[in-house]
Amino acid sequence: MTTRRPCRPSRAERRGFIAVALRAIGLAAAIAATPTHAAGFDLGALTTLLGRVRSGEATFVETRRIEMLDRTLQSSGRLSFKAPDSFVRETLKPRHEKLAVDGNTLTMSLGERSRTMQLDASPEAAVIVEAIRGTLTGNRATLERLFETTVSGDAARWSLDLVPRDLRLRGQVAAVRVSGRDAAAREVEVRLADGDRSVMTIEPVASARATP
């Protein structure tokens, strides 16, 4: 038996697609308008920098803007990752949730319920997971495979714009922007095609030890 997401709003999807297209054009324009790229600091340099950190822990605070409800939601918790491909996001407030990725296995726990699925069977989840996991572990190949990438800033203060290559996915996840300082990501901003937005600010715990 193979049922997937039974209810998909096709009209909303189409609307979302147009929004994404417009936003992508806007984004391209914005990138084109950016006057200076720090010379030499590109995706290769960034992933090399990030790849030096083999594991890390952090706390996060996330703010989500939900258009439909006309309000923001806030949550907070812990993040941890371990090269090459483990990543855990544990939300502690307002309710306990856990999302753990190990290789291609995604485990989501909500209260006492827990379900395991294959990451590559759910591309929209994979986009979010890989944007964060791929950046934290400095996995250049994965980032380039899934996203059109744009790096701006320099090693001290950088940001990485990720736009899904698959147009179908852009109809859901319009863009992800990861910003950071040195070898640590400090903010992940996700923009969904339907207009919802989330910003996750990250406060490294382990990197505080790593960087004197």
Contact between 141 and another protein by CB under 8 A: the answer reads no
Contact between 3 and another protein by CB under 8 A: the answer reads yes
Contact 135, 89 (CB under 8 A): no
Which residue in the set 1, 29, 32, 33 belongs to the binding site for another protein (CB under 8 A)?
1
Scanning residues 91 to 110, which ones bind another protein (CB under 8 A)? 91, 94-95, 97, 110
Contact 174, 20 (CB under 8 A): yes
Number of residues that bind another protein (CB under 8 A): 49
Tally of residues, the chain: 212
* Whole-number Å distance between alpha carbons of 189 and 110: 23
In this structure, the number of other CB atoms found within 10 A of the CB of residue 175 comes to: 22
Contact between 4 and another protein by CB under 8 A: the answer reads yes
* Whole-number Å distance between alpha carbons of 124 and 173: 7
Which residues in 4-70 belong to E strands, given as ranges? 55-66
Scanning residues 157 to 176, which ones bind another protein (CB under 8 A)? 166, 168, 172-173
Residues near another protein, by CB under 8 A: 1-9, 12, 16, 64-66, 68-69, 71, 73, 75, 91, 94-95, 97, 110-112, 114-118, 120-125, 127-128, 166, 168, 172-173, 192-194, 196-198
